[in-house]
Amino acid sequence: ACGNSDTGGGGTKDDGKITMGFSQVGAESGWRTANTTSIKESATAAGIELKFDDAQQKQENQIKAIRNYIQQKVDVIAFSPVVESGWDTVLKEAKDAGIPVILTDRSVDSADKTLYKTFLGSDFVKEGKLAGEWLVEQKKTATGPVNIVELQGNTGAAPANDRKKGFGEAIAANPNLKIIASQPGDFTRAGGKQVMEQFLKANKQIDVLFAHNDDMGLGALEAITAAGKVPGKDITIITVDAVKDGMQALADGKFNFIAECSPLLGPQLMDLAKKVHAGETVPARIETEETTFTQEQAKEALPNRKY
Ligand code: AHR
């Protein structure tokens, strides 16, 4: 339908085929790779023509890609915003062009909710909360301080803000649990390794690591081992995502707990695209279903894990 619209924007079809412009955050993690695969495969399966752009974790690249999609008069724009703030102008441009926007995976903090049709993704606060609650339970008999370090996602990203919030709120239940250091590791293995090295140098006693995703946790494993400590034993490691490598580390006893974040958003996204294109009303918020994993549960789930 792309580029042949008599309404001056998306929405009017020439060939009946829906064209979606998708701006992806980047390829920073195993989660992201699985998410990209899900989107590409689902578009093909749904008969939707996909224009895909990898923004390499830069907001300016996402804004550029969205403007290109507006110019090309795609039918639907979908994107996963790298950070929460700063989208109003470009979203208004899409709205003025009559192109519906679907937020997927991450949301924006725009006050004007009419700038997008729906937000499909996880409850990141809940993920952080589940991680924190597990720790509270594990440490309920602790009599002295429990020193926690936190590897955050990229600054300003919804999952970084929200996981920090949920975890912080949950551990407030036990004043012994203290976050002694918290820094962004950008959701990457390299970032996780580098920041964990700094944490280990600067802090004599680290009891727990909370990493906002598996990849940073996996990077941190290298730093922990290099420092002569045993991951999963000397340092309790909690992460988010449950991608295969993370689940393997959990099953191997190197991680202790994972709060799941599902990247398999493609099928639902394509469904939503068809609906908004047809002018149907869709729910403003669609939450992904997810669970949590202990070491035992990871061992059981691993053989059937698809990503
Ligand atoms: O937005 C989802 C987060 O982004 C995932 O938890 C993380 O791995 C990814 O980079």
Strands of 257-260's sheet, edge to edge? 177-184, 146-152, 208-211, 236-241, 257-260, 292-294
Q: What tens digit of pLDDT does each residue of 15-54 get? A: 779 999 999 999 999 999 999 999 999 999 999 999 999 9
Q: Is the CB of 127 under 6 A from ligand 1?
A: no
pTM value is: 0.94
Q: How far is the CA of 147 from the centre of ligand 1 (A)?
A: 25
Q: Is the CB of 185 under 6 A from ligand 1?
A: no
Return the number of other C-beta atoms located less than 10 Å from residue 3's C-beta: 11
Q: What tens digit of pLDDT does each residue of 142-151 get? A: 989 999 999 9
Pick from 25, 28, 32 the residue to mutate for probing ligand 1's pocket: most ligand atoms within 8 Å of its CB: 32
Q: What tens digit of pLDDT does each residue of 195-252 get? A: 999 999 999 999 999 999 999 999 999 999 999 999 999 999 999 999 999 999 999 9
Of 14-23, 118-127, 226-235, 270-279, least confident by mean pLDDT is 14-23
Q: Is the CB of 237 under 6 A from ligand 1?
A: no
> How deeply is 181 buried, as exposed, middle or buried, from its count of CB atoms within 10 A (0-12, 13-18, 19+)?
middle
pLDDT value of position 128: 98
pLDDT value of position 14: 58
pLDDT value of position 282: 98
Name residue 177's beta-bridge partners: 146
Q: Is the CB of 106 under 6 A from ligand 1?
A: yes
Check pLDDT > 60 for residue 12: no
Nearest CA to ligand 1 atom 3: 159
Name residue 235's beta-bridge partners: 231
Q: How far is the CA of 29 from the centre of ligand 1 (A)?
A: 7
Q: Determine the average pLDDT of the residues in 65-69.
A: 98
Pick from 120, 213, 287 the residue to mutate for probing ligand 1's pocket: most ligand atoms within 8 Å of its CB: 213
> How deeply is 179 buried, as exposed, middle or buried, from its count of CB atoms within 10 A (0-12, 13-18, 19+)?
middle
User: Mean pLDDT over all residues of the chain?
Assistant: 95
Pick from 241, 243, 262 the residue to mutate for probing ligand 1's pocket: most ligand atoms within 8 Å of its CB: 241
pLDDT value of position 2: 54
The CA–CA distances, whole Å, from 251 to 121, 242, 291 equal 26, 11, 16
* Alpha carbons 212 and 94: distance in angstroms, whole number: 32
